[in-house]
Structure 1
């Protein structure tokens, strides 16, 4: 199956879905605090997604049992929310929100620092955000996916981190996951050529240690093989001739620090 190109009314619907997902992520970010459970996050995502007129794309996807992925500390991706998993100072947690609105999907995530975190934790979170952003800076009509992946990989490795190779970004639109696969490593000048109208995600998973991962017995939760911390940031992008449009822009300048005294409530 080829990679679809979107235009006109389809792009408007993608913008609406992306804005809804970004809005929910920002709303949930404002409620994070030590002591809350990852099941609380799941409930909040369900509540806010419905308030915005959407449905959670992840719920029931290939049997996934929750409305959101909550990936804490050494969990790379696809963490399942649980009532007995509570955030504590020193944790980092990725919250991954995907919203379906009027038949189109928007996908975004961020990793948050809970209270005082270690220098290593802060480093991997910072590198993951910068890796996403350097990848976005390369995206435009005519660029090869290998160019995007190489830029991300080079930054991560220069900072002493590694890129998970078993998962990557993806096309998105009428389906949550669609062609193409978007690797976050690679060789310049190789891979699919991006074209104006493609919609993809850039979402590098960055490990503080080695890139190897393993799946837990629940069949979903992916952790680092060496137990090291992992962080991720994600945006949905529309490829244009000039560059790209971020379809999941945050309504806030989204902070990743959550203090021990109070939850994040506003940009600063």
Structure 2
């Protein structure tokens, strides 16, 4: 697959799409509390995205089996790593964590970001998992500069998370992003320094550590979307879309509004 370098105008459009993702996640954060269903959150996200002139990228996005995704966001609770389908049967309770992955298509360009939220009071153990996963994202981003390699990003995430005693999911990766939600290259959360595709200024990628409290092994549920940890221990997922620059990556998505409310 061809890797597309973006112009400054294109990066500007991607920044706008990604800022909208950040605003959507912040809006969802304001509504996350015990008693809320994941389907209610999906409706809030869908309305918010469309009210801002964009469309939810995930809606009807096909899986490898050709089946369209039925919702506008992914709501992965506790031991679901990614791609949890919103449902009126999944009611959030105190002590849960929920990873919300969100994508928008605005003026022809995609935004993509994920944040793992605590529901009420969570245990210190689970809180540490969230802290480490989020820090690993920023360690990966530090390596995402022109002249480095995709392997440098993965190595930074893997080394830190494994040092902290956590599992790093191998089967799911970050990705290039632009006019399409998934473009080349793949961006794994593990790897060797200096290996893989060389990063060039103008590349836009989504970096998204998916980290497990226990073993890194995963299953797919019968819905053919939800990915769950085999040992049923919690998993966390944080994601930013970034533009590769010389010297320092530019983060196009944002957690600011989520964390300042």
Q: What TM bracket, shorter-length normalisation?
A: over 0.9
Q: Does 1:159 align with 2:164?
A: yes
Query: Structure 1 residue 89: deviation in Å?
Result: 0.3
Query: Structure 1 residue 150: deviation in Å?
Result: 0.6
Partner of 1:237: 242
Q: Does 1:168 align with 2:169?
A: no
SS state at 1:201 partner: strand
Partner of 2:205: 200
SS state at 1:167 partner: coil
SS state at 1:24 partner: helix
SS state at 2:132 partner: helix
Query: How big is each residue's C-alpha offset from its partner over 1:158-188, in whole Å with a ceiling of 9 and x where there is no partner?
Result: 1110110000100000001111000010111
SS state at 2:103 partner: strand
Within 5 A, what are the aligned runs for 1:82-161? Answer: 82-161=87-166
Partner of 2:18: 18
Is contact 1:34–1:87 with CA below 8 Å preserved after alignment?
A: yes
Q: Distance in 2 between matches of 1:21 and 1:52?
A: 10
Partner of 2:57: 57
Query: How big is each residue's C-alpha offset from its partner over 1:70-127, in whole Å with a ceiling of 9 and x where there is no partner?
Result: 0000000000000010100010000111000011000011001111212221111111
Is contact 1:23–1:251 with CA below 8 Å preserved after alignment?
A: no
Deviates more, 1:167-176 or 1:1-10: 1-10
Provide the TM-score with structure 2 as the length reference: 0.96
Is contact 1:207–1:229 with CA below 8 Å preserved after alignment?
A: yes
Query: Structure 1 residue 23: deviation in Å?
Result: 0.9
Q: Does 1:209 align with 2:179?
A: no
Deviates more, 1:173-182 or 1:116-125: 116-125
CA-based RMSD = 0.9
Query: Structure 1 residue 8: deviation in Å?
Result: 2.7
**Structure 1 stretches of 4+ moved >3 Å:** none
Query: Structure 1 residue 250: deviation in Å?
Result: 3.2
Query: How big is each residue's C-alpha offset from its partner over 1:15-64, in whole Å with a ceiling of 9 and x where there is no partner?
Result: 11111111111111111111000001100110100111100000000000
Query: Structure 1 residue 251: deviation in Å?
Result: 4.3
SS state at 1:210 partner: coil
**Number of aligned residues:** 256
